[in-house]
Amino acid sequence: MTLLEELAKMIDHSILHPTMTDDDLMRECEVAKKYNVASVCVKPYAVTQAAEILKGSDVLVGCVIGFPHGNSSTGVKVFEAQMACKEGAVEIDMVINIGKALGGDWEYVEDEIKTIADVCHSNNAIVKVIFETDYITRDEDKIRLCEICTRAGADFVKTSTGYGFVKLPGGGYNYKGATIPDVELMRKYSGPQVKVKCAGGVRTLDDLLSMREAGATRSGATATESILEEAAKRFGK
């Protein structure tokens, strides 16, 4: 596999913005096929359509659940995961219950992650657990989550949704998303069988290469086309 192919297979092409239409879904799935990325990551209602568009390709279908704020009950997250798998998703990106983590109810957090992981695995899907590092900011909490995910059988730990907006002093909202220190921390404190996915703010080839160096093996991206076109120019086909 060439370096360009390896980089393409790092990317989960994100099709998650709330305003995206069915036409947008079709276009972005075609982008994913063109560049032969690892997967698309779509909203729950779009799984069936995405699976149909990508049939016969090597691009997998992933789906978010409890997205973007993780506030659904565990039972609802279970139902979302089951439906997504039934409709063709083979990768599930779940958001933890952020409030429970911030409140220190680690038993709840671990039980929920294990429940979702078990459901996904019983449906031949993998699970990526989103911490939302714009909200979970203390290193000790991130480390605790890495340990929990390792015990619970998660396949990936993931930094962010890309929608973890924080109110700024001027009254506007923004997010940082994935950072190199967070990826390095997650790689260090997760078990060897648990992989790391970065997401949020990975917009350039240099961003992707830096995250790869830090220990990420997957990255969410919306700028897939520009990243991989730049990779083709820099490294060749």
C-beta of residue 162 within 8 angstroms of C-beta of residue 132 = no
Q: What is the C-alpha to C-alpha distance for residues 121 and 118, in angstroms, rounded to an integer?
A: 5
* pLDDT at 168 (0 to 100): 81
* pLDDT at 202 (0 to 100): 97
Selection from 64, 63, 76, 4 nearest residue 36 by Cα: 4
* pLDDT at 140 (0 to 100): 98
C-beta of residue 42 within 8 angstroms of C-beta of residue 61 = yes
Q: What is the C-alpha to C-alpha distance for residues 42 and 137, in angstroms, rounded to an integer?
A: 26
Q: Are strands 39-42 and 60-65 parallel, antiparallel or unpaired?
A: parallel
- Runs of H (alpha helix) within the chain: 3-8, 22-35, 47-53, 74-86, 98-102, 106-122, 139-152, 180-189, 205-214, 224-235
The amino acid present at 125, given as its one-letter code, is A
Query: Catalytic one among 93, 134, 155, 207?
Result: 93
Q: What is the C-alpha to C-alpha distance for residues 195 and 208, in angstroms, rounded to an integer?
A: 16
* pLDDT at 174 (0 to 100): 85
Query: Catalytic one among 128, 142, 195, 197?
Result: 197
C-beta of residue 134 within 8 angstroms of C-beta of residue 69 = no
* pLDDT at 183 (0 to 100): 98
User: Between helices 224-235 and 205-214, what is the axis angle to 10°?
Assistant: 80
* pLDDT at 111 (0 to 100): 98
pLDDT single digits (tens) 58-96: 999 999 999 999 999 999 999 999 999 999 999 999 999
Q: What is the C-alpha to C-alpha distance for residues 45 and 109, in angstroms, rounded to an integer?
A: 26
* pLDDT at 65 (0 to 100): 98
* pLDDT at 237 (0 to 100): 74
Query: Catalytic one among 77, 128, 142, 158?
Result: 158
With residues binned 3-state (H G I as helix, E B as strand, rest as coil), the percentages for the chain, rounded to 5, are 45, 15, 35
Regarding the domain delimited by 3-235, which CATH topology (the fold level of the hierarchy) does it fall under? TIM Barrel (3.20.20)
Residue 158: active-site member? yes
pLDDT lower than 70: segments of the chain: none
Q: What is the C-alpha to C-alpha distance for residues 68 and 148, in angstroms, rounded to an integer?
A: 20
Selection from 8, 16, 9, 20 nearest residue 164 by Cα: 16
pLDDT single digits (tens) 196-219: 999 999 999 999 999 999 999 999
Q: CB burial class (10 A; 0-12, 13-18, 19+) of residue 237?
A: exposed
Residue 197: active-site member? yes
Q: What is the C-alpha to C-alpha distance for residues 216 and 160, in angstroms, rounded to an integer?
A: 13
Q: What are phi and psi of 204, to 5 degrees?
A: -130, 165
